[in-house]
């Protein structure tokens, strides 16, 4: 069977608290030449398997005794690993974020699982049009994009999702399409402030360019949307085989450094109205025409000011017809007006990004090690 052949030698995680079902399913997979991770009977064990073992797919029993499997599903989604649910219950207990996933009713034949996993894997594959929605990937030679395409997957990044955590190993590289990621600096005491934004113009994982697989920053999805993901192992492979990718990633890292320094300048030298106008213009650059689902509390943390100050400043910008602010949502009405309101706080990092990305790739290859 072609579907089974496509999983030969690949490892599937089994998360199932019924010992007999788990053992039988594992035996059936192994008999077909498919490797098995687990079986895991609880969330903690499954999360450990994901962290330690290369996994190509997963089958998740929804009800694991006194807990539900959805934290495992969230982690698999974050890593762009295809999975299916198995259950003897109604599917209405599945949260909305996983509502489109395949749900198989027990008892399940392994062929049904493999077919469903193949369907999920195929659904996550993307074409060149999707790839070119990220500015870094779009600038690569077409041959390079074609070589990377089988390793790229599309996922939906949910608001509040942690992309990278301080002092933890980075496992995925994200190329945002219409999501926006906050780069957050945090003190040992828990104080937090946003230092930069990454959207469709860039990528995460800049430390990998210098051999550093950890970060001191916290990267959190601020605006929900789609992103293209690539495993760190594949990213490192392509850095060595696609010099244009290394160069473009390095240029983005340089541009991000300029952005971070100007965030510090804005925080120290400009009024809150300019800082907020700058921030809104920067988000709009990355998701034009999209309303931002953000609370005043979240904005106050990102800008490092009191919530009441954010509320008052939003009212001022709304009074000038630059934005429309409703409960938990902000819509830009006059982008040019926002840029004018930001004044000197906005513009130089954006110009520097454009300058760096306009530099030729071919003439610069000699500088790439």
Residues 202-256 pLDDT 10s: 999 989 999 998 888 999 888 988 899 988 889 999 999 999 999 999 999 999 9
Q: Using CA atoms, how far apart are residues 64 and 45, in angstroms rounded to an integer?
A: 11
Contact 12/29 with Cβ under 8 angstroms? yes
Phi, psi of 157 (to 5 degrees): -95, 120
Task: Give the residue extent of every domain in the chain.
Answer: 2-124, 128-367
How far is C-alpha 243 from the geometric centre of its chain's CA atoms?
24
Q: How many residues does the chain have?
A: 369
pLDDT confidence bin for 90, thresholds 50/70/90: low
Phi, psi of 329 (to 5 degrees): -145, 140
- Say whether pLDDT at 367 is over 70: no
Contact 256/183 with Cβ under 8 angstroms? yes
| Burial readout 53-74 (b: 16 or more C-beta within 10 A, e: otherwise) | eebbbbbbbbebeeebbbebbe
Q: How many CB atoms lie within 10 A of CB 192?
A: 15
Most distant CA pair in the chain, distance = 69
Q: Using CA atoms, how far apart are residues 55 and 36, in angstroms rounded to an integer?
A: 9
pLDDT confidence bin for 14, thresholds 50/70/90: very high
The torsion region of residue 204 among left (phi > 0), alpha (psi -120 to 50) and beta comes to: beta
pTM of the predicted model as reported, rounded to 2 decimal places: 0.75
Q: Using CA atoms, how far apart are residues 249 and 251, in angstroms rounded to an integer?
A: 5
- Superfamily for the 2-124 domain: Response regulator (3.40.50.2300)
Q: Do domains 2-124 and 128-367 have the same CATH topology?
A: no
End-to-end CA gap in the chain: 45
Q: Which CATH number fits domain 128-367: 2.60.40.1220, 2.40.270.10, 2.60.120.10, 2.60.40.420?
A: 2.60.120.10
- State the average pLDDT for the chain: 87
């Amino acid at each position: 069977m072609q579907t089974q052949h496509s999983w030969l030698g690949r490892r599937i995680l089994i998360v199932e608290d019924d010992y007999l079902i788990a053992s039988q399913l594992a035996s059936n997979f192994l008999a077909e030449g498919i490797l098995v991770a687990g079986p895991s009977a609880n969330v903690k064990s499954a999360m450990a398997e994901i962290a330690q073992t290369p996994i190509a797919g997963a089958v998740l029993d929804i009800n694991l005794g006194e807990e539900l499997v959805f934290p495992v599903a969230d982690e698999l989604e974050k890593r762009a690993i295809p999975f299916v649910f198995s259950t003897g219950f109604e599917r209405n207990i599945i949260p909305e974020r996983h509502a489109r996933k395949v749900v198989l009713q027990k008892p399940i034949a392994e062929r049904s699982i493999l077919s469903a996993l193949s369907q999920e894997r195929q659904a996550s594959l993307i074409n060149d049009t999707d790839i070119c929605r990220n500015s870094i990937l779009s600038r690569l030679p077409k041959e390079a994009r074609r070589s990377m395409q089988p390793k790229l997957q599309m996922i939906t990044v949910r608001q509040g999702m942690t992309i990278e955590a301080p002092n933890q190993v980075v496992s995925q590289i994200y190329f945002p399409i219409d999501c926006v990621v906050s780069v957050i600096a945090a003190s040992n005491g828990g104080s937090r402030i946003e230092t930069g934004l990454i959207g469709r113009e860039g990528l995460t994982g800049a430390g990998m360019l210098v051999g550093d697989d950890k970060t001191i920053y916290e990267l959190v999805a601020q605006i929900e949307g789609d992103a293209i993901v690539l495993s760190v192992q594949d990213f490192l492979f392509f850095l060595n085989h696609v010099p244009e990718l290394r160069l473009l990633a390095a240029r983005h890292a340089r541009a991000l450094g300029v952005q971070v320094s100007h965030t510090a300048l804005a925080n120290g030298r400009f009024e809150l109205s300019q800082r907020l106008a700058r921030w809104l213009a920067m988000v709009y650059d990355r998701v034009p025409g999209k309303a931002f689902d953000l609370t005043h509390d979240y904005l106050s943390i990102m800008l490092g000011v009191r919530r009441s100050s954010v509320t008052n400043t939003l009212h001022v910008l709304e009074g000038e017809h630059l934005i429309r602010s409703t409960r938990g949502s902000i819509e830009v009405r006059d982008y040019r007006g926002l840029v004018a309101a930001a004044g000197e706080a906005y513009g130089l990092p954006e110009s520097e990004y454009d300058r760096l990305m306009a530099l030729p790739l071919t003439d610069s290859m000699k500088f790439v090690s």
